[in-house]
């Protein structure tokens, strides 16, 4: 399977770059077009460019590998899980994209028997491409990357994403870990707006940890499949917010430098488990 994985990597990189051309060109006008449409709720948006980028990617996967499964955020979110399945988010960070913020990514992961084996994440606005093949390390623009090692919580930049939960109870639950982190003198808190880039930023040391899912606002397989593998190959520790084993089909994530994962879990675990 070694040769196949690198063939998949090559195609995924090419498809991400091709979709990226569309996204980069559209980014100059999308805000003035008022392009965002509501999807699951008023804060979950999609544009015609999400769908166009998805068409570019999926059509060529189907042509090249008709026997492979596909899970894709816009047109096939439930998908069909096969031995080899491509997991695609054509534009992760759609709200950023509409607003003219640069943290936008194409995410393409390839999983085998449910386990990520290849991941590509491309930010066409910044022209940065992250990739990983299981067991072969993680890379940014073909340069090896690694998580920050040996840091303490007081040195850490921690990222949180609030997702689409907008109830009062959910807001309180999501904000409580932020309060605890600040009271324990974390260096700072950030919110990037793209889950897959959050994972890649932990991988390359721009962030030291990211978590999501404390109030049911967790991510989806297309958020995790590529970025999670890249982070893991860069030395990050991944688990669920309760400390149990991470899965791309799960409902929460902690992705962290190993030296502070215990501190992060202590802060974000539900009160009943502390």
Q: Which residues are catalytic?
A: 73, 89, 91-92, 94, 223
Residue 205, H or E segment: none
What is the three-class DSSP state of 195? helix
Angstrom distances, CA of residue 267 to CA of 104, 152, 250: 29, 14, 20
* Number of Cβ atoms within 10 Å of the Cβ of 38: 10
Q: Is residue 91 within 8 Å of 97, Cβ to Cβ? A: yes
Beta bridge partners of 211: 160, 254
The 10 Å Cβ neighbour count of residue 241 is: 24
Query: In whole angstroms, what separates CA 190 from the centre of its chain?
Result: 15
32-41 contacts: CB < 8 A, separation 24 or more? 35/98, 36/94, 36/95, 36/98, 40/164, 41/164, 41/166
**Whole-number Å distance between alpha carbons of 258 and 53:** 35
Q: Hey, what are 165's tokens?
A: 């939960």
- Of the chain, the end-to-end C-alpha distance in Å amounts to 43
Reduce the secondary structure of 219-253 to three states and give it as a string. CCHHHHHHHHHHHHHCCCEEECCCCCECCCCCCCE
- Cβ atoms of 133 and 243 within 8 Å: the answer is no
């Amino acid at each position: 399977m070694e040769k196949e994985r690198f063939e998949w990597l090559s195609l995924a990189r090419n498809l991400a770059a091709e979709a990226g051309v569309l996204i980069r060109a559209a980014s100059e006008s999308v805000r003035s077009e008022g392009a965002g449409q509501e999807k699951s709720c008023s804060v979950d948006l999609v544009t015609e460019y999400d769908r166009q980028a998805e068409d570019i990617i999926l059509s060529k996967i189907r042509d090249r590998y008709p026997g492979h499964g596909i899970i894709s955020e816009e047109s096939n979110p439930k998908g069909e899980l096969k031995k080899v399945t491509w997991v695609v988010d054509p534009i992760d960070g759609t709200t950023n994209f509409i607003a003219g913020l640069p943290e936008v990514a194409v995410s393409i992961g390839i999983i085998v028997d449910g386990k990520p084996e290849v991941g590509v994440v491309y930010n066409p606005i910044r022209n940065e491409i992250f990739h990983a093949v299981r067991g072969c390390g993680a890379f940014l623009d073909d340069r090896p990357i690694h998580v920050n090692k040996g840091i303490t919580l007081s040195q850490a930049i921690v990222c949180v994403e609030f997702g689409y939960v907008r109830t009062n109870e959910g807001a309180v639950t999501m904000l409580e870990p932020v309060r605890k982190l600040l009271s324990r003198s974390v260096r700072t808190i950030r919110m990037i707006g793209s889950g897959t880039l959050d994972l890649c930023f932990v991988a390359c040391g721009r962030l030291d940890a990211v978590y999501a899912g404390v109030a049911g606002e967790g991510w989806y397989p297309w958020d995790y499949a590529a970025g999670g593998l890249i982070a893991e190959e860069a030395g990050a520790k991944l688990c669920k917010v309760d400390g149990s084993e991470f899965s791309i089909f799960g409902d929460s994530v902690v992705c962290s430098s190993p030296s502070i994962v215990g501190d992060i879990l202590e802060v974000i675990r539900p009160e009943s488990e502390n």
